[in-house]
Amino acid sequence: MHIRFAKWFFRTAFALLTRLEVRNLENIPKEGPYILAPNHMSRADTPLLFIYFGGKNVTGWVANKYRRNLFFGLLVQLGNPIFIRRGEVDRQAIDAAANALRAGKIFGLAPEGTRSRVGSLNRGKTGIAYLADLAKAPIFPAAITGTDTLFHNLLRLRRPNITVTFGELFHLPPLDPEDRSASLRRNTDEVMCRIAAMLPEEWEKKLIDMNVTELTDEDIKWADYVFISAMQVQSDSAKEVIARCNRHRRKIVAGGPLFTTSYDDFDGVNHFVLDEAENTLAPFLADLTKDCAKPIYRSTEKPDISTTPTPLWSLINMDDYHSMNIQYSRGCPFDCEFCDVVLLYGHKPRTKSTEQLIAELEVLYQNGWRGQVFIVDDNFTGNKKKIKAEILPAIIEWSQTKGFPFVFMVELTIDFAED
């Protein structure tokens, strides 16, 4: 009885307070087992999906902290939760999830692992691929939009537009026993691609690299916001671009090394998104959607770059370039007097995962690139142990399987010759 009442309550609330559109409702499988895999925009996602999936045959992982939450604690109890200790490998919770699926239940799991703060997808965690393989369960993807601004709009007495789109049930390929880690990443990316295919393009993007392309007035007029990034040597050019954007009354967002170290030297910029974008871009975009973006965004924290998304190579014409650039690490343990990299990125090398680096090479390869690849780290060998034990063997193995499509270039310190 309480489940029926909760469904009625949430259905009525969303109908009255939002403009809710549900697409492909007929795709919902009549019974489990399967993993329901939605993107995660807001705490409102849970009651929204409860309307369509709430019942005794549904469960999912819920962080332990919500046990004592007055509202969400009551809500999650309706969904027969499996409480999990976040931030560690909770074998008991994993086994309980697999057993629930083997018993024919529906298991809800957002692949991103946490709410997106920018209105777009975060990189998926491999837990969903692991669980699907462990329980031999199919995936049912769902895409949600609009819940990220729900509470902001309600406070302003606005009815936000919310959409829920259901995909089609599918099975992931078996994991490769020779390389489970890479298989988990590929299968997770497949789930995220299925979700992404159902989401609208929130931002229409155009990239103008002024090293190879002229920036026209038409390009500037096309944009609602002009994002500018530059190095110190491009300071004069950046000021010219800012002046042109001001003449055409286009808002400017500036970031990158030049502006991080000397933003006080630049007038006419609406928003400075400084330091490393993994920390400062998300808060800026979140504020922008609420019409309350601040002039300056900064962070002294050094982000974990293992969550950095793969570059959108589709925004450039690869024929314009002699070399493609990728980044593996940031930070350097040295303190050379001629170099300011430690001012930007610190002394402790932070690296991407081996799987992440190989995935970026694979994307370049699939986009048709053949030739030189410059790994642009200021010191590629900042973490020599990982380079020798993991990265170089993985690059060699991948290159061999592809017929050596790339010639690699790096910057490193001369002490590497000692090895």
Does domain 2-196 match CATH 3.40.1130.10?
Answer: yes
Higher-pLDDT residue of 307 and 92 is: 92
pLDDT for res 70? 58
pLDDT tens for each residue of 63-80: 777 666 655 556 666 667
pLDDT for res 235? 96
pLDDT tens for each residue of 109-134: 999 888 876 566 777 889 999 999 99
Average pLDDT over residues 318-329: 93
Residue range(s) in the chain whose domain bears CATH number 3.40.50.280: 217-297
- Distance (Å, whole) CA 330 – CA 355: 17
Residue range(s) in the chain whose domain bears CATH number 3.40.1130.10: 2-196
pLDDT tens for each residue of 170-218: 999 999 888 898 899 889 988 988 888 887 766 778 899 999 999 999 9
Name the CATH topology of 217-297: Rossmann fold (3.40.50)
At residue 248, does pLDDT exceed 90?
Answer: yes
Architecture per CATH, 305-418: 2-Layer Sandwich (3.30)
Percent of the chain with pLDDT over 90: 51
Higher-pLDDT residue of 275 and 332 is: 275
At residue 233, does pLDDT exceed 90?
Answer: yes
pTM over 0.95? The answer is: no
At residue 164, does pLDDT exceed 90?
Answer: yes
pLDDT for res 73? 57
At residue 137, does pLDDT exceed 90?
Answer: yes
Average pLDDT, the chain: 88
Most confident among 179-188, 238-247, 331-340 (mean pLDDT): 238-247
